Amino acid sequence: ISNHLVDDCGFTGVNILNASGVSAGQSVPHFHIHLIARKEDDGVDAWPKFNGSKLSLEHVLDQIKM
């Protein structure tokens, strides 16, 4: 689908977005993805600025270790 949007529909890029869980912005509890067809300077903010984690990599590693 992404290739079709770029190759055949005149878009120059595609964002693929999945939100899993309420804290990630998911409002409907099932798996779904969003395909956001993009063009240069389209004004869509599908990738908001992220100033980096407030946690150290070591702390995150300790939290996610199995």
pLDDT for 47 equals 78
What is the DSSP track for the chain?
-HHHHHHHH--SEEEEE---SGGGT--SSS---EEEEE-TT----SS------SS-HHHHHHHH--
Q: What tens-digit pLDDT sequence spans the chain (66 residues)?
A: 999 999 999 999 999 999 899 998 898 899 999 999 999 999 998 877 878 888 899 999 999 998
pLDDT for 52 equals 81
pTM of the complete model:
0.68
pLDDT for 59 equals 93
